[in-house]
Amino acid sequence: METAEGKKAILGGEFLIRQSEPKEIFIPEEWSEEHKMIAQTCYDFLATEVEPKLEAIDNMEEGLMESLLKKVGELGLLGVSVPEEYGGLGLNFNSSMLAAEALGSGHSFSVAYSAHTGIGTLPILYYGNEVQKKKYIPKLATGEWMACYCLTEPSSGSDANSAKTKAILTDDGKHYIVNGQKMWITNSGFADIFIVFAKIDDDKNLSAFIVEKDMNGIELNAEEKKMGIKGSSTRQVFFKDTKVPAENLLGDRGQGFKIALNILNIGRVKLAAAVLGGMKGTIKDSIKYANERNQFGRPISKYGAIRQKLAEQAIRSYVLESSIYRVSQNIQEAINRLEADGMPKSDAILKGIEEYAAECAMMKVFGSEQLDYVVDEGVQIHGGMGYSAEMRVERAYRDSRINRIFEGTNEINRMLTVDMLLKKAMKGELDLMGPAMKVAEELTSIPDMGGDDDGAFSKERQLVANFKKTVLMVAGSAAQKLTQSLAKEQEILMNIADMAIWAYTAESALLRTMKIVEMKGEGEAADQIAMTRTWLYDTADRIHKAGKDAINSFVEGDEARMMLMGLKRFTKTDGVNVKEARQQVAKTLIDAGKFVY
């Protein structure tokens, strides 16, 4: 558990009670030439194979999506994280995140790619036995076979373990007979392999099965007509006395719910990477249009209202990028440590990701909501043309909306974030109550105003530390006062989750900027400093509002007044000229014609 510097590695959720240093995080400015080549391969594929065919993809031209997936498979991009022994590239977790980001602006293609490489392939890679992996993974890694993931049912969405699909073992013990209905199944229209979740007999928990398309008793409904991602194959799948060989049970009996949860943890952080790619694509389109569209005798990119929008798009992308690669590096380092301790690679990957499950949920929420903001502003920058189906930003706007529902709704993920952190605390894996009690004591003490000469970014670091105190203060008090009933107070849980997300993203952006300054100097990092200070300034108000709403929901009288005073103290920030900061960032974007950070 020691890092190269001899400091104990940060654990999942520990960001709330521990100050990280710039040297402890990975930032995109550190990508190797090999990584940059992987990203460029992805960009080139989108530019040559996907973007010219977006209309045909949305019209679901027969065989088109499958052919694109096979082509990207020929480039090795379906097997980025698949070990070489099974026909993949064998690259690390960070590399797979980069590929997800770089292909993230491909609209429906990106959804098909993510579903196949993630929830379609990983259950077998991480939970399959050796025979299963050798049989299926090489064909999935090259695109010879396509995969889909059958979990959701008409009566079970967020409550996945209530699924009604049944599997009955035959008397001779050689097959399971599967009956049930699945819906919203991505890639189902052309999938060769179905990862199917069902309950064996009257089991409490789900089991998972590898079902092949050619097994009898599989029927598909017509393609769903959807608001967005129209080119993504989405169908209902019916299993009617489907005869599945007993050896196609994936993992152990009753392990299906665990498989589903762990694969979703991966899916959540990968989704955050994919939406980052979508954000950057929309920013590029927005800048291009703003530079070309003339009103009142000059390009609209010359006007402050448009520059404010472009800059804020970039700020949110910069913050998300800082955050997701911080957590992905934490995951990668955990995987490396577990492997070094003798744990098998697939187990180490699952355990490493599970350690940061709360952060994965946070990134899914934050990323999907920032993409919604960016595409909405993209439409606005385009004006009336943004509402026209002729423009790519119209498609981006519609395609974005599903991400707040995919991989568990954002409401569920917010509540999961707090639940996972509190459970870690109750198990003794994370000391939240000790620091929370210290914050409570601090409320009655004389405020430490600090000094002005404590080094570069000292005020920003103190502000981030104070953001964390607000989370500990509200969460600690809520846990003490509401005890078991806190789980039912969804509004309060979502307030706390938002505060935690904003504290994490604020710290991530600050650490990245500090590291860039260390690498290049303040002059080369002027835009990053401007973006970070603007984000912290705005975050203080966001945290204050969420904290105030939460406190007023469960505390009254003098105690409420004391906590509200503390909240005000902890979110107090110096003034920032955000107009000038955004103007500065916008000028860089406009001159470059794209997102350059």
For 182-234, what is each residue's pLDDT tens digit? Answer: 999 999 999 999 999 999 999 999 999 999 999 999 999 999 999 999 999 99
Tell me the Ramachandran region of residue 90: left when phi exceeds 0, alpha when psi lies from -120 to 50, beta otherwise: left
The answer to whether residues 78 and 96 touch, using CB atoms and an 8 Å cutoff, is no
Q: Residue 180: what are its φ and ψ, rounded to 5°?
A: 165, 180
63 domain-assigned? yes
Of 97, 116, 145, the domain-final residue: 145
Which residues span the domain enclosing 247? 149-255
pLDDT at 271: 97
pTM: 0.95
6 domain-assigned? no
The span from the CA of 542 to the CA of 565, in Å, is 16
Give first-to-last CA distance, the chain, whole Å: 32
- Per residue in 509-547, is it b (16+ CB within 10 Å) or e — as a string? bbbbbbbbbeeeeeeebebbbbbbbbbbbbbbebbbebb
46 and 188, same domain (yes or no):
no
Q: Which residues contact 102 (CB under 8 A, 6 or more apart)?
A: 38, 39, 42, 43, 277
168 and 294, same domain (yes or no):
no
Question: How large is the C-alpha radius of gyration of the chain?
Answer: 24
244 domain-assigned? yes
Instruction: Give the count of beta carbons closer than 10 Å to the beta carbon of residue 576.
Output: 16
263 and 405, same domain (yes or no):
yes
377 in active site: no
3-state secondary structure of 21: coil
Q: Are strands 218-220 and 234-245 parallel, antiparallel or unpaired?
A: antiparallel
Q: Which amino acid is at 169?
A: L
The encoded tokens of residue 95 equal 């590399």
2 domain-assigned? no
79 domain-assigned? yes
5 domain-assigned? no
271 and 401, same domain (yes or no):
yes
pLDDT at 1: 43
Residues in the chain: 597
37 and 89, same domain (yes or no):
yes
Of 145, 168, 190, the domain-final residue: 145
Long-range contact set of residues 36-41: C-beta below 8 Å, sequence gap at least 24: 38/80, 38/91, 38/95, 38/98, 38/99, 38/102, 39/98, 39/99, 39/101, 39/102, 41/75, 41/77
pLDDT at 156: 82
Positions in the chain whose pLDDT score sits under 70: 1-7, 447-454
pLDDT at 244: 98
303 and 440, same domain (yes or no):
no
Domain total for the chain? 4
- Per residue in 18-43, is it b (16+ CB within 10 Å) or e — as a string? eebebebbbbbeebeeebeebbebbe
pLDDT at 447: 66
Residue among 24, 333, 355, 407 flagged as catalytic = 407
169 and 119, same domain (yes or no):
no
306 and 278, same domain (yes or no):
yes
269 and 170, same domain (yes or no):
no
Q: At what angle do helices 458-482 and 557-570 cross, to 10 degrees?
A: 160
Q: Which amino acid is at 515?
A: K
561 and 574, same domain (yes or no):
yes
40 domain-assigned? yes
204 and 56, same domain (yes or no):
no
99 and 221, same domain (yes or no):
no
CATH number at residue 123: 1.10.540.10
Of 129, 145, 161, the domain-final residue: 145
288 domain-assigned? yes
Q: Which residues contact 402 (CB under 8 A, 6 or more apart)?
A: 111, 226, 227, 228, 229
CATH number at residue 481: 1.20.140.10
